Amino acid sequence: MAIVEPASTEASGRPRLRLRNPATLELLDEFEVQSEADVRAAVERARKAQPEWAALKVAERGRILTRALPMMVERQEDLVDVIVRETGKPRPEALAEVLGACDALQFYAKRAPKFLADRTMPMHLLRTKKLRIAYRPLGVVGIITPWNFPFMLAFNPTIQALLAGNAVVLKPSEVTPFSGVLVQEVLRSVRLPDGLFQVVLGDGSTGAALVESGVQKICFTGSVRTGRKVGEACGRNLVPFTLELGGKDPMIVCADADLERAANGAVYGAFSNAGQVCVSTERVYVVDEVADAFTQKVVEKTAALRQGAEGEFEVGPMIWPSQLEIVERHVADAKARGAEVRTGGRRNPDHPGLFYEPTVLTGVDHDMTVMCEETFGPVLPIMRVRDEDEALRLANDSRYGLNANVWTRDRRKGERIAKAVQSGSVVVNDCMLTYGATESPFGGVKDSGIGQVNGEAGLRSFSHAQSIIIDRFGAKTEFLWYPYSVKKLAWLQRVMRWVWGTPLGRLLS
Ligand code: NAD
């Protein structure tokens, strides 16, 4: 059973895809895969609309975009319905997407005038000049998104790119296209210039066409495998890009951790969104002296989680069948190499959809796939370690570096360990959080990505920091201009000797 599968091609000859709800397997809808020509036409329309938008003041752009907020609050149930229909996730998790989108819209719209304001910098050496830095829009930004948070991960970069004065063409995942269309519906309500924001639907071929379409930036969120292809294409075309990719986030539990809080955090961090969060906790290193007590708590709390498709439950289905197969492969590999399944470890037989039981594994080691590759599902392997040094060494023994979490009652120690973890971000005594903490820059190191989104720097990354140097005094010539002479050379040498060769020169430069 495929949740996204080919549908019969209409007389137009254009390929179509059909979607099913991953929780109930009920048929949802069909959509047409947009071609390379469609994508190019969308980018062309966006290009025409962009100058009028870029001419507005940043505050005005923010004022227009925030008109969407009352509608998002008012129609939150409708928005949640669409997200739940195509992901099957629990309503609180779908609402968290809408909530996160509202927060991002208000946060950036309010602060964008400051974050994107021209800055004047004193010049440390060329005192006769003035430097202005102006954050200029890039043009058309292509945004390509995955299926795990289909609304929020599409909405947030879109509004940041728009606030920075760009036009946007969004390509949502083929697994969750209607949450992408939802972004369009929300923004249609604020009456943007025609063509300024468009959604193109389709699969990887549509995404690849967007990368090749002549946009001025690609903001990609998805797997390492696709990220590599996108990065290669952007490199070939000299298009700036950010890649927000997968992770294998470690959790380090120190002997002095609050075990009750840590166990609750482990269970939430591993199983929310059925483990399909880029910053899900995917492996735990717990020091020997508290390992039994911690593991016992985690197993009990995990076994108490409810799965379902409606009503009250905590853990929804896998959203994409291929991901379910990866989960099964990782658990089978761990079992074959001696890991013990403490709870879960199979598809949930009580539901027709893509449900995998929340699973805790112990007796794992670093050769197992479940400890080195992104699982992206409801599986939590727990490894007992001698001490915090071993935990840190193993946490860093990974090709990924997206997020991590550290648990200790000693906050200084927590911060010290956090700084030693090789990852884009770290949370102490909490989990995930980073993407939702709007102020925080977010992005991975190692294979987890290139560049960052969110926060002040993330918003600015949708613009080009244009340097404007202005001469202040209008002298007829400059010392460094022609003609050259021996005298001028000697003077420059004296300047070098004084500025960088004396303590006073270094102090003043
Ligand atoms: P994916 O890479 O399969 O697909 C992501 C998007 O890329 C989809 O829209 C897809 O249609 C498109 N695409 C596919 N081939 C393409 C190509 N050749 N050129 C351009 N676009 C192409 O990822 P997925 O399975 O949808 O998402 C899950 C992955 O996303 C996980 O690895 C997860 O960790 C990662 N993720 C990362 C973050 C983050 O912020 N770091 C956030 C969420 C998800």
pLDDT digits (tens, 9 = 90+) for 351-394: 999 999 999 999 999 999 999 999 999 999 999 999 999 999 99
Distance CA 502, CA 53 (A): 52
DSSP assignment of 256-299: TS-HHHHHHHHHHHHHGGGG-STT-EEEEEEEHHHHHHHHHHHH
Atom 35 in ligand 1: residue holding the nearest Cα = 222
Residue of 86, 212, 244, 374 marked active site: 244
Which of 158, 169, 223, 282, when mutated, tests ligand 1's pocket best, judged by the most ligand atoms within 8 Å of its CB?
A: 223
Distance CA 69, CA 46 (A): 24
Q: How far is CA 158 from CA 58, 161, 169, 454, 481, in A?
A: 15, 5, 9, 11, 46
DSSP 3-state of 309: coil
**Mean pLDDT to the nearest integer, 289-299:** 98
> Is 1's pLDDT higher than 60?
no
Ligand 1 centre and the CA of 244: distance in Å?
A: 9
Sorted by sequence, the CB contacts under 8 Å of residue 24 that are 6+ apart come out as 88, 309, 352, 353
- Average confidence score pLDDT of the chain: 97
pLDDT reported for residue 330: 98
In the sheet with 140-144, reading across from the earlier edge strand, the strands are 197-199, 167-171, 140-144, 217-221, 241-244, 449-450
Ligand 1 centre and the CA of 221: distance in Å?
A: 5
Q: Which of 362, 356, 365, 415 is nearest to 390 (CA)?
A: 365
Largest CA distance in the chain: 90
Distance CA 75, CA 55 (A): 31
Residue of 234, 278, 373, 431 marked active site: 278
pLDDT reported for residue 13: 80
CB atoms within 10 A of CB 95: 17
**Mean pLDDT to the nearest integer, 65-69:** 98
Q: Which atom of ligand 1 is nearest to the CA of 173?
A: 9
DSSP 3-state of 151: coil
pLDDT reported for residue 117: 98
Beta bridge partners of residue 17, listed in sequence order = 6, 31
Torsion-angle region of 391 (φ positive above 0: left; ψ -120 to 50: alpha; else: beta): alpha
Global model pTM greater than 0.95? yes
Ligand 1 centre and the CA of 219: distance in Å?
A: 11
Counted residue by residue, the chain has a size of: 509
Pocket of ligand 1 (CB under 6 A): 144-148, 153, 171, 173-174, 203-204, 207-208, 211, 221-223, 226, 229-230, 244-247, 278, 374, 376, 402, 444, 449
pLDDT > 90 in the chain, percent? 96
β 129-137/119-121 pair status: antiparallel
Distance CA 477, CA 281 (A): 62
Confidence category of residue 10, pLDDT binned at 50, 70, 90:
low
Ligand 1 centre and the CA of 220: distance in Å?
A: 7
**Mean pLDDT to the nearest integer, 423-452:** 96
Which of 147, 211, 278, 282, when mutated, tests ligand 1's pocket best, judged by the most ligand atoms within 8 Å of its CB?
A: 278
CB atoms within 10 A of CB 341: 17
Torsion-angle region of 131 (φ positive above 0: left; ψ -120 to 50: alpha; else: beta): beta
DSSP assignment of 313-357: -SB---SSHHHHHHHHHHHHHHHHTT-EEEE--SB-TT-SSS-B-
Is 26 marked active-site? no
Is 278 marked active-site? yes
Ligand 1 centre and the CA of 204: distance in Å?
A: 9
Distance CA 231, CA 145 (A): 15
Residue 29 in contact with residue 43, Cβ under 8 Å? Answer: no
Express each pLDDT in 161-188 by its tens digit: 999 999 999 999 999 999 999 999 999 9
Distance CA 55, CA 193 (A): 12
Residue 69 in contact with residue 105, Cβ under 8 Å? Answer: yes
Express each pLDDT in 242-274 by its tens digit: 999 999 999 999 999 999 999 999 999 999 999
Q: Which of 297, 354, 10 is nearest to 175 (CA)?
A: 354
Which of 173, 215, 398, 452, when mutated, tests ligand 1's pocket best, judged by the most ligand atoms within 8 Å of its CB?
A: 173
Beta bridge partners of residue 19, listed in sequence order = 4, 29
Ligand 1 centre and the CA of 228: distance in Å?
A: 11
Residue 136 in contact with residue 217, Cβ under 8 Å? Answer: no
Q: Which atom of ligand 1 is nearest to the CA of 203?
A: 11
Ligand 1 centre and the CA of 144: distance in Å?
A: 8
Express each pLDDT in 295-304 by its tens digit: 999 999 999 9
Two structure tokens written together for 53: 């938008």
Place of tokens 């719209």: 109
Residue 295 in contact with residue 270, Cβ under 8 Å? Answer: no
Task: Rounding to the nearest 10 degrees, give the CA dihedral for residues 94, 97, 98, 102.
Answer: 160
Sorted by sequence, the CB contacts under 8 Å of residue 413 that are 6+ apart come out as 254
Distance CA 443, CA 461 (A): 12
pLDDT > 70 in the chain, percent? 99
pLDDT reported for residue 12: 72
> Is 11's pLDDT higher than 80?
no
Q: Which atom of ligand 1 is nearest to the CA of 322?
A: 25
Distance CA 463, CA 115 (A): 11
**Mean pLDDT to the nearest integer, 466-492:** 96
β 197-199/167-171 pair status: parallel
Q: Which atom of ligand 1 is nearest to the CA of 146?
A: 26
